[in-house]
């Protein structure tokens, strides 16, 4: 099994978003949800239009853990949801194929991998890259591994840090530069 990496450079995230924006709104929304919510691809693909249309929060039962998860829709996603869900039935899948079926994991993998390649990224990428990218940048912004651990339902801070790609040298650097 190939281990995928987060996209650590914010400019690279923008490059991928620009590539996807030129293709279609569905693929861009898929990527933005992934990088802004930290959901697993199985949970993203299980969303229906009604789960996001006009909602202030996303509420799901995680497929992997069976746990209830509720979190607010951020300012970047809110207008994207409004635009993308216009005229759509609340019961239909949020992400559908050209054949009007619910998108499957492989299609999402192809979308993410192709867009990252077209944007010139060198990282090992897959659908889990979006979740790891969320975690990496969340940690960089808030420096709160405990919150991130809860968001991801990880059993320890060490697992969370390893998962998001915080390397040992970065940990050591933080110790050397932390003086009270």
Catalytic residue among 15, 84, 128, 132: 128
Residue 57 designated active-site:
no
- Which of 15, 40, 132, 137 is catalytic? The answer is 40
Count of other CB atoms within 10 angstroms of residue 151: 19
138 is catalytic: no
Catalytic residue among 15, 131, 137, 138: 131
Q: Give the active site residue among 64, 70, 86, 141.
A: 64
CB 135 within 8 A of CB 163: yes
84 catalytic? Reply is: no
Taking the C-alpha atoms of residue 66 and residue 106, their distance in angstroms, rounded to an integer, is 22
From the candidates 84, 136, 139, 163, which is the catalytic residue? 163
Which one is catalytic: 15, 132, 138, 154?
A: 154
59 is catalytic: no
**Residue 131 is among the residues annotated as catalytic for this protein:** yes
Report the candidate in 171, 165, 169 with the shortest Cα–Cα distance to residue 6: 165
> Does 154 qualify as catalytic in the annotation?
yes
Residues labelled as active-site residues:
40, 64, 128, 131, 154, 163
């Amino acid at each position: 099994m190939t281990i995928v990496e987060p996209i650590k450079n914010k400019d690279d995230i923008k490059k991928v978003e620009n590539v996807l924006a030129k293709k279609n709104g569905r693929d861009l929304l898929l990527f933005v949800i992934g990088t802004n919510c930290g959901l697993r691809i199985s949970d993203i693909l299980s969303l229906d239009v009604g789960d996001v249309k006009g909602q202030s929060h996303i509420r799901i039962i995680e497929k992997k853990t069976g746990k209830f998860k509720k979190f607010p829709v951020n300012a970047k996603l809110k207008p994207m949801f409004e635009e993308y869900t216009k005229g759509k039935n609340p019961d239909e899948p949020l992400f559908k194929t050209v054949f009007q079926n619910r998108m499957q994991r492989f299609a999402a993998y192809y979308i993410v991998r192709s867009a990252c390649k077209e944007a010139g990224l060198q990282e090992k990428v897959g659908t889990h890259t979006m979740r790891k990218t969320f975690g990496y940048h969340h940690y960089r912004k808030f420096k709160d591994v405990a919150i991130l651990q809860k968001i991801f339902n990880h059993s320890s801070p060490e697992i969370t840090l390893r998962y998001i790609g915080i390397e040992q040298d970065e940990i050591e650097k933080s110790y050397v530069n932390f003086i009270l």
